[in-house]
Structure 1
Amino acid sequence: MPHINAAAALQICMLLSALPAQYFISQWYGTDSAQRIQITERIIASWSSFTKSHLSLDAWTDCLKLWLSKTRSWYHGEKKTKMGDNEAETHSYFAESTHVHSPKPQYIQFSVGQVIVHKRFGYSGVIVGWDVKAKAPEEWLQHNYPPAKQDLKDTPHYRILINKANGFGKSTAYIPEEEITIIMGLEVHHPDMKAYFSGYDGSKYIMQPWLKKIYPHD
């Protein structure tokens, strides 16, 4: 039995449909041969256009390329969105969030720009941000606040640039309010000071405009 491929089968179907098509054309449009020829030519042209648009290999290739392009765009868009969400979540930790801290709760005792001394460790530094309660990865919270200190997680926390003059080793800290003592007349030396502050008035550091927008009440 001879093998018939898809193209040959399609041609056979077209030939078999030609006679019924001519019959229906003659029934619909009478015996006017010129009119029948015109209608037949239109049908052939429409069929040719249909096969080129939907049945040709090039048409299917174009459709596949379009689908792959849309799928790729969707995938990278979703990936970028997730990465953006993860990055935003990361930067919300340790008082690094850029959302405007307003209104300022009355129980937040200290302000950005004030110079502090750590009560237990003795190092000095300057406040560059605060959270109404500890915002950090769960692993960090579990490590720093064992069961006996769980209550501290719900107290205000401050981000500190540590004074390099202390030789403490760390450059920043994130500490609860109860560990802070405010002092005046002490200048802090840290490579990032100019990024956060424009000057020092003897009692506190003056915030840069971008930081003042985040902490308008400090």
Structure 2
Amino acid sequence: MIFHLGQIVEHVRFGYRGVVYQCDTEFSLTDEWYDEMAKSKPPKHKPWYGVLVHGSTSATYVAQRHLMLSRNKNKIEHPDIVYYFDEFDGFEYRPRQLN
């Protein structure tokens, strides 16, 4: 896997920024979701990531090949950040520790 929880990434095609909140070693949603949403048919056997999208309430599920590290390291504005992360160190977010 190239990315890890808390990293700020950017979608290579659509340009939106976000923070990785979920890492899957391979595609983990339904075949129906894949057929409907994954128009470019990225490989299912490679990593996929959940991303909280900056400036919205949306989250996306994205194949690794569609993401890159963002050069813009400004904080991500998303209402669900507090559920997944404790703090921002200026480069990435620190995942919350489960008690």
TM over 0.5: yes
Q: Contact conserved, 1:145 with 1:152, CA < 8 A, in 2?
A: no
Structure 1 or 2, whichever has the larger Rg, is 1
- Higher RCO (CA 8 Å, separation ≥ 6 residues): 2
Alignment of 1:202-213 (within 5 A): 202-210=90-98
Check if 1:171 corresponds to 2:58. Answer: yes
In structure 2, relative to structure 1, the CA distance for the partners of 1:136 and 1:123 (3 Å cut) is same
How far apart, in 1, do the equivalents of 2:83 and 2:37 lie?
28
Q: Within 1, Cα distance between the matches of 2:38 and 2:11?
A: 17
Give the length in aligned residue pairs.
Answer: 98
Asked if 1:113 corresponds to 2:6, the answer is yes
Post-superposition CA distance 1:9-31 (Å, at most 9, x none): xxxxxxxxxxxxxxxxxxxxxxx
Alignment of 1:98-177 (within 5 A): 108-145=1-38, 149=41, 152-164=43-55, 171-177=58-64
TM-score for the superposition, normalised by structure 2? 0.88
TM-score (norm 1): 0.42
The structure in which a higher percent of residues are strand is 2
Matched residue SS, 2:44: helix
Say which structure is richer in helix: 1
Residue 90 of structure 2 aligns with an amino acid whose one-letter code is G
2:69 aligned residue:
182
In structure 2, the gaps of 5 or more residues are none
Deviation (angstroms), 1:206? 0.8
After superposition, the C-alpha distances for 1:151-201 in whole angstroms (9 at most, x for unaligned) are: 51111000000001xx6xx61000000111112522100011111111111
Percent sequence identity is 29
What is the alpha-carbon distance in structure 1 between the residues aligned to residue 95 and residue 7 of structure 2? Answer: 10
Structure 1 unaligned segments of length 5 or more: list them.
1-107, 214-218
Deviation of 1:145 (Å): 4.0
SS of the residue corresponding to residue 32 of structure 2 reads helix
Match of 1:196 in 2: 84
Q: CA deviation at 1:109?
A: 0.8
